[in-house]
Amino acid sequence: MKIKNIKSKKLFSDAKKLMPGGVNSPVRSFKAVGGIPHFIAKGDGPFIFDEDDNRFLDFTCSWGPLILGHNNKIVKDSIKEVIEFGTSFGTPTRRENILAELIIEAVESIDKIRFVNSGTEATMSAVRLARGFTGKDLIIKFEGCYHGHADLFLSNAGSGLATFDQPSSPGVPQSVVDSTITLDFNNIKQVENAFKKYENKIAAVIVEPITGNMSVIKPKNDFINGLRELCTKNNSLLIFDEVMTGFRVKHGGAQELLSVKPDLTTLGKVIGGGLPVGAYGGRKEIMSFIAPEGPVYQAGTLSGNPVSMSAGIATLKQLKNDKVYSYLNEISKYLSDGLKNISEIHSYPLIVNEFCSMIGIFCTDNTVNSYKDITKTCIDNYNMLHRYFLDNLIYFPPSAYEALFLSTKIKHHHIDHVLDTFNKFCVEQKN
Ligand SMILES: Cc1ncc(COP(=O)(O)O)c(C=O)c1O
């Protein structure tokens, strides 16, 4: 079935004359999977509707934030209520206290929090704070983890292990990434070596505790616990980038699931209920280094704005109910088990990494534990699968490197439709 996209085609053609690539964030362009993006007109529950009136079952949830589905009534009402009184004052407002309390209550490692406007701002500021607090400069990150688009993160590993990085984008000065070291995810030995080589120079290790940006990969126990031990031993800070996993995999985040306590945590996505937001928080003595309490500068005109705060509060209040997470776990398992069974029946190479409403789909027979493993998977197969699902009105992420996100609005019969479609896909592949 080929779906109608006359209006999206026209809009995309116009958009390309107005904005680079016709988009305001590269992955939206469908460059990775081919074809053109669908221009979305509205969302409702588990569905998004494009300008040509196609109704897609959505597995991206705006790249994670919409854990309660599209157009959640309580969130929408909370936004309507707050905008009656204005949208921004550049002063403290009571809603900042409420959202801060909700987060601090849920995430054990956070005593104090600072709101910003995006995940990028959160990670960038957390690293500045780590450097200011420790008095050291070097940062360790991991290949395939994404921490936003600040210069210091836009780098690839240097020529040898534990050597400094190379910029991964023009415009990023070498001098900025001279303080960044990129290592392999799930390889604790490399981290040990880096700490030995750069003794007393490493300010922080930043990691997605469960990855979502090289699709979904779970950390090995020795890796995640080893990071904690090495940071503690070397007086370096462990930063968990939970922009994606925070309030998505569990109320207390990936850190609660993994039972590992970071020094700093970055958040975004879910805590803004679909509006722009970011945050970073951690132990009191570290957070007190932030201005105006301490010397590390960080500010924001619209930070903590009442509209984002309100949507965040309305979202997090609904997530206090444990049943939300047990339902999301159940429905995610139903989808991933179904995909695995069908792929086995048809001997179609597929690995499914499922982790509490985040699902990674890899077109390969081999286990996927790191970025290098993903580069060996068949991206063309993922792209074919993506196209097939899209033609059947199922919206999977338009890139093999991105995770699927489920919302509470996805029900068993929706998943049955996905599984039937996948079964048909496998049958057609054989013919
Ligand atoms: C783990 C992680 N950190 C940081 C970011 C950057 O967040 P934003 O796009 O809000 O700047 C993202 C975005 O996807 C992310 O997944």
Ligand 1 centroid to Cα of residue 328, in Å, is 22
Q: Is residue 230 part of a domain?
A: yes
Render each residue's pLDDT in the chain as its tens digit; 431 residues: 579 999 999 999 999 999 999 999 999 999 999 999 999 999 999 999 999 999 999 999 999 999 999 999 999 999 999 999 999 999 999 999 999 999 999 999 999 999 999 999 999 999 999 999 999 999 999 999 999 999 999 999 887 767 889 999 999 999 999 999 999 999 999 999 999 999 999 999 999 999 999 999 999 999 999 999 999 999 999 999 999 999 999 999 999 999 999 999 999 999 999 999 999 999 999 999 999 999 999 999 999 999 999 999 999 999 999 899 999 999 999 999 999 999 999 999 999 999 999 999 999 999 898 899 988 888 999 999 999 999 999 999 999 999 999 999 999 999 999 999 999 999 998 87
Is 269 an active-site residue? Answer: yes
The CATH number of the domain where 42 resides is what? 3.90.1150.10
Q: In degrees, to the nearest 5, what angle opens at C-alpha 302 toward C-alphas 267 and 129? A: 45
Judge if 46 and 81 occupy the same domain.
Answer: no
Handedness of CA 378, 379, 384, 390 (dihedral sign): positive
Cα 414 to Cα 62, 239, 303, 418, distances in angstroms? 18, 37, 38, 7
The reply to whether 1 falls in a domain is no
160 lies in the same domain as 187: yes
258 and 110 co-located in one domain: yes
Four-residue CA torsion sign, 192, 193, 194, 200? positive
Residue 377: what pLDDT?
Answer: 86
Residues 150 and 275 in one domain: yes
- 295, 318, 341 — which closes off a domain? 318
pTM: 0.97
Our count of domains for the chain comes to 2
For ligand 1, whether the C-beta of 123 sits within 6 Å is yes
Show the domain range for 261.
Answer: 73-318
Q: How many CB atoms lie within 10 A of CB 301?
A: 8
- Judgement on whether residues 163 and 264 belong to the same structural domain of the protein: yes
User: What pLDDT is attached to residue 2?
Assistant: 79
Q: Which atom of ligand 1 is nearest to the CA of 25?
A: 9
pLDDT at 258 (0 to 100): 97
Ligand 1 atom closest to the Cα of residue 212 is 16
- Same-domain check for residues 122 and 201: yes
Q: What is the pLDDT of residue 430?
A: 83
Residue 160 CA to ligand 1 centre (angstroms): 28
Maximum C-alpha span of the chain? 67
Residues 351, 336 share a domain: yes
Asked if 220 and 186 count as a contact pair (C-beta separation under 8 A), the reply is: yes
Ligand 1 centroid from CA 123, angstroms: 8
Domain boundary among the residues 277, 297, 318 is at: 318
Q: Atom 4 of ligand 1 has which residue's CA nearest to it?
A: 147
Same domain, 11 and 150: no
Q: What's the gap in Å between 313 CA and the centre of ligand 1? A: 20
Q: What is the DSSP letter of 237?
A: E
Does residue 226 fall inside a structural domain?
yes
Helices of type H across 234-370: 254-258, 284-287, 306-318, 322-345
Same domain, 21 and 43: yes
Cα R_g (the chain), whole angstroms: 21
Tell the residue number behind the tokens 């407002």, with chain if given: 93
Ligand 1 pocket member 208 (CB < 6 A): yes
Selected catalytic residue, list 58, 241, 263, 373: 241
Q: Where are the beta strands (DSSP E) in 176-236?
A: 180-183, 202-207
For the beta sheet containing 55-58, the strands, ordered from the edge strand earlier in sequence to the opposite edge, are 40-44, 47-50, 55-58, 394-395
Omega within 30 of 0 (cis) for the link into 262 = no
**Whether residue 56 is found in the same domain as residue 82:** no
Q: How far is CA 254 from CA 66, 106, 207, 233, 259, in A?
A: 18, 12, 11, 23, 8
Same domain, 329 and 311: no
The reply to whether 241 belongs to the active site is: yes
Question: Are both 117 and 263 inside the same structural domain?
Answer: yes
| CB neighbour burial string for 322-339, b if at least 16 within 10 angstroms, e if fewer | eebbebbbebbebbbebb
